[in-house]
Amino acid sequence: MTGGGAAWLARRLVASVAIIFAVVTFVFILIHLAPGKPCGQVGGGEYVDRAVCDQLVKQFGLDKSIPEQYWLYLVALAHGNFGYSFSLHRPVRDAIADTIPFTLQLAGAALVLDFLLGLGLGIYQAVRVNRLPDVVLGNVTLFIYSLPTFWLALLLLLIFGEKLRWFPVGGPNDLIFCPAVDSLYCVADRFWHLVLPASTLGLVGAAGTARFQRAAMLEVATQDFVRTARAKGVPERRVVLRHQLRNALLSFITRFGLAFPFLLTGAVLIETIYAWPGMGRLAFDAILSRDYPLVTATALIASTLVVAGNLLADILLGIADPRLRVRADIGLVLAT
Amino acid sequence: MLRRSLPRLPVSVVLVVAVLALGGCERRGGCTGANCGTLINAAVAEPGTLLPPSSEDIVSNDIGEQLFLKLADVGMSENTLGDEDFQALLAQKWEWDGPLTLVFHLDPRARWQDGRPVTAADVEFTFNAYTDSAVASPYRPKLRRIASVTQRDSLTAVFRFRDRYPEMFYDAVYHMRILPAHLLRPVPRDQWKTAPFGRQPVGDGPYRFVRWQTAQSIELIADSTFFLGRPGIRRLIWRFTPNLQVAVQQVIADQADMREQLVTPENVERARAAKQLAVYPFRGSVFTYLCFNSRAGDDTTQPHPIFADREVRRALTMAVDRASLVKSALGDLGKVPPGPMSSLLGIWDPDIRQLPYDTAQAGRVLTFHGWRDHDGDGIRDKNGQPLAFHILVPTSSVLRRQYARLLQQQFGAIGVHVEIDELEPTVVNQRAATGKFDTVILSRQNDPSPSSGITQSWTRAESGGSNYCRYYSPEFEGLVDRAVTASTRDQARALWRRAMETINADAPGIFLYALENVAAVHKRVENVQLRPDSWAALLRTWRIPPDRLIDRDRVER
């Protein structure tokens, strides 16, 4: 990496930390200002004795002012302590450590499906532009893209889970045969349980990716270097995959960076509908039960993932497009 | 050449097919005897802790039934008066040593699952823990009439009461699950809620704790040496789902074996249509009501401008056709409660006098008390104040939101304007507790005794606590006090009836519906007994005959 590139990366890292800090601060203040107490609702029942509630509030220091609580939180965070979850009765770190692998598995599987399928469809449509397959696929992808994610999830669950019984109705594994992923069979079982939730997230994403990719491919198709390649007699397959696709990947990489927020927010819904024990469901439950440390910690992790995803996308863009790399070297762009 | 002639399948397709094929395979296990079997319960909430004094949520109570024994427990009759209907558990027998002293003799066969015997020291320790303010147990108020618990010898525990009343035995045994003193004594009491023991408990019940997978499941395994007899089903799993519909779907799709409450008529129909399921109706423990706040929402020291007036409350109650509402919203799954009670309570009696449904009379009462439509806008008013209020309802309850709209229509028919505030349950609870509402639709769960629940929710002793309507009636409280201390069941029943008629006449709320439970259980399970106050109390007696075992029953791990 050149000096300019390193400086750019350093600036981006500082900006990323500032963004994460701002998100955590914002979420911390917002959740504390929201009406309702942490012991307002418990699982299964509805009301907690007020004396018990007051004692909990005191025990966890929630009777202190918000700035005081915030300062204590930052001090604890600086020591690597995410705090204690009052709804789960366990350290926040443990709760997140238990759930984040599930979210990453779900988001990872959905991302793979999104980009493989989306990329393939986008290329296929661009090659057959304005012909029947392109028109049909265009309408189908638009239809899927416009579907609410939760509705698609419920539909797939009803058809393939309850009616046809091809796939499990929720949960990450077979509780009897595979309580832990400790064999090839259980790895397969995990994939088996991932099919519906990952498909729900991935299909909607793929529909969007396909539309973006088609447009990018068509834009590149009119460029001089593509016409030149064809004029030189380069085989069509090579023209599409080498010349056209490679240059159309820039929008694909940009979309990769944007996919992280979509996947993480989508995960909240999908994890709830499919009983997937991930961080999205954890965050949702934490908000409902006003579990302040857990809400703030999940926001911290989620914002870190989103910022890291975008940073990675920017780096990949720089690698993929030499023009951007040169401009980064002289410090003109990519600073945002 | 050969490679070229083969169809070129992408590696990813091959992998997916292989994974799907492998995933679709079934495994066969080896257990074939009478005590095999796995029961997966689709639960809609995950407990915070399994340490009994620190938690009162329903799922932790269900699991607690399997892990920690009480000294004795109520029978299927749910009679809480006297001791004749109680079933012995940890206590082999008991006797009264004078009017205020109850002596329990522990079963010498009882053992903690680490091999230590259960002793009277554990009973004494348990009482001290439950009543210690540092533990902040929600059961503490229910034990206030027990003065002390001591040990006479290693197998004899002595309870001394402050006064004599019919439910002394019930109070002694129902609220406490006996805890292992040798494991919990070293844990500081103010840290019990967060103690590791709560996530990895060691009990003395029919099942042992195996594992807790956060947001997924809790698994228990039968203790084959359990002193009251080996449980019929070998493995119990509580599978946590985020909501009722997912839970019901899992049972219908045969990926769970039971769901103890189906809640809606649609779910019951779906369960009936599933060929592998049997449905079991049983009495419910929950009732729901519209609570009129008798104090002003913005200043709770002042009377509410509308609901402080008993006659207005009565008129509004008469304007609601509760029977039709129950029929349209719940079908056979609900009843109109004859007072603030669920059908679990022995004092339930449909003949208890209630205000009739009579919209004409309701209108006349309002008119008589000055609430007329003076300005012709269709809404009654008095001294310039319209007869209008808000109904607070939690977004989490479809049924209660539906009821809010139905009530809005019915009040509208007599010239009362209603606005509905749908808010998060946490916010609803906070506003209800602090009195910042006009009316709120609340649900309550009864334990088998009317004494604790009714006293807590409807008397001034608990005003500002869970008496969210801020109802105060010296006559009602006098009747409740006498009913709680009545010496015979018949006397108590008559007094409770009078108390219920008094509260019905005062109308501090409209008692909308009492839910009837329907459970769905896999047909291969036999001897399904569901005790209304705690469906899981008799789970150890359920069984799956060897000829009905399926793969998940046989698997050995």
CA–centroid distance for B106 within its chain: 29
Which band of pLDDT confidence, cut at 50, 70 and 90, is reported for residue B10? low
Q: Chain-wide mean pLDDT for chain B? A: 90
Q: Looking at the complex, does the CB of residue A120 fall below 8 Å from at least one CB of chain B?
A: no
Give me Rg for the CA atoms of chain B. Answer: 27
Residue pLDDT, tens place only, B363-395: 999 999 999 999 899 999 999 999 999 999 998
Spatial CA neighbour of B318 closest among B353, B369, B360, B270: B360
Residue B137 pLDDT: 87
CA distance readout (Å), B259 to A157, A167, B278: 19, 20, 11
- The secondary element (H helix, E strand) that includes residue A309 is helix A292-320
| Helix, strand, coil % over all residues of chain B, rounded to 5 | 35, 20, 45
C-alpha angle B85-B87-B92 in degrees, rounded to nearest 5: 130
Query: Does residue B269 register a pLDDT over 60?
Result: yes
Q: Which residues, 6+ apart, have CB-to-CB distance to B292 below 8 Å?
A: B304, B307, B313, B316, B438, B439, B469, B507, B508, B509, B510
DSSP A333: S
Vertex B241: Cα angle to A279 and A207 (nearest 5): 60
pLDDT at B6 over 70: no
Taking residues B357-362, what's their average pLDDT?
96
pLDDT of B123 higher than 70: yes
State phi, psi for B303 to the nearest 5 degrees.
-70, 150
DSSP H or E segment with residue A74: helix A66-78
Percent of chain B surpassing pLDDT 70: 94
Kindly state whether A71 is in contact with chain B, defined as any CB-CB distance less than 8 angstroms.
no
CA distance A194 to chain B (A): 11
Our CA-based measurement puts residue A225 at a distance from the nearest CA of chain B, in whole angstroms, of 31
- Quote ipTM for the complex: 0.76
Q: Is the dihedral of CA B541, B547, B552, B554 positive or negative?
A: positive
Choose the mutation target among A37, A62, A89 for the interface with B, i.e. most B CBs under 10 Å.
A89
* Cβ separation B555–A175 shorter than 8 A: no
Determine the Cα–Cα distance for residues B511 and B458; give it in Å rounded to an integer: 13
To the nearest whole Å, the CA of A249 is away from the closest chain B CA by 22
The rounded radius of gyration (Å) of the Cα atoms in chain A is 24
Residues contacting residue A38 through CB under 8 Å, at least 6 positions apart:
A56, A57, A60, A62, A86, A87, A289, A290, A291, A292
Would you call A89 and B193 a contact, using CB atoms and an 8 Å cutoff?
yes
Of A332-336, B31-35, B82-86, B422-426, where does mean pLDDT reach its minimum? A332-336
Q: What is the mean pLDDT of residues B504-526?
A: 96
**What are the tens digits of pLDDT across the range B432-479?**
888 899 999 999 888 889 887 888 889 886 544 688 899 999 999 999
Query: Residue B119 and residue B178: Cα distance in Å, rounded?
Result: 10
3-state secondary structure B172-203: HHHCCCCCCHHHHCCCCHHHHHHCHHHHCCCC
Instruction: Let me know: does B132 contact B191? Beta carbons within 8 Å.
Output: no
pLDDT band at B14 (very low <50, low <70, confident <90, very high): low
Low-confidence ranges of chain A (pLDDT < 70): 1-3, 39-52, 324-336
Residue written as tokens 């418990």? Answer: A42
Q: What is the pLDDT of residues B286-309, one digit of tens each?
A: 999 999 999 998 887 899 999 999
Identity of the residue numbered B344: L
Closest CA to A171 of B90, B382, B242: B242
What pLDDT is attached to residue A325?
A: 64
Rounded Cα–Cα distance for residues B467 and B454 (Å)? 9
CA distance B15 to B21: 10
The pLDDT confidence band at residue B9, using thresholds 50, 70 and 90, is very low
Residues of B in contact with A44 (CB under 8 A): 44-45, 57-60
Predicted pLDDT of residue B464 = 46
Tokens at residue A291, please? 């579990």
The pLDDT of residue B22: 52
- Helix (H, G, I), strand (E, B), or coil: what is residue B350? coil
pLDDT of residue B5: 38
Q: Is A51 on the interface with B (CB under 8 A)?
A: yes
pLDDT in tens, B234-254: 999 999 988 888 899 999 999
Q: Band of the pLDDT at B54, cuts 50, 70, 90? A: confident
pLDDT at B148: 97
Under a CB-based contact definition with an 8 Å cutoff, are residues B219 and B237 in contact? yes
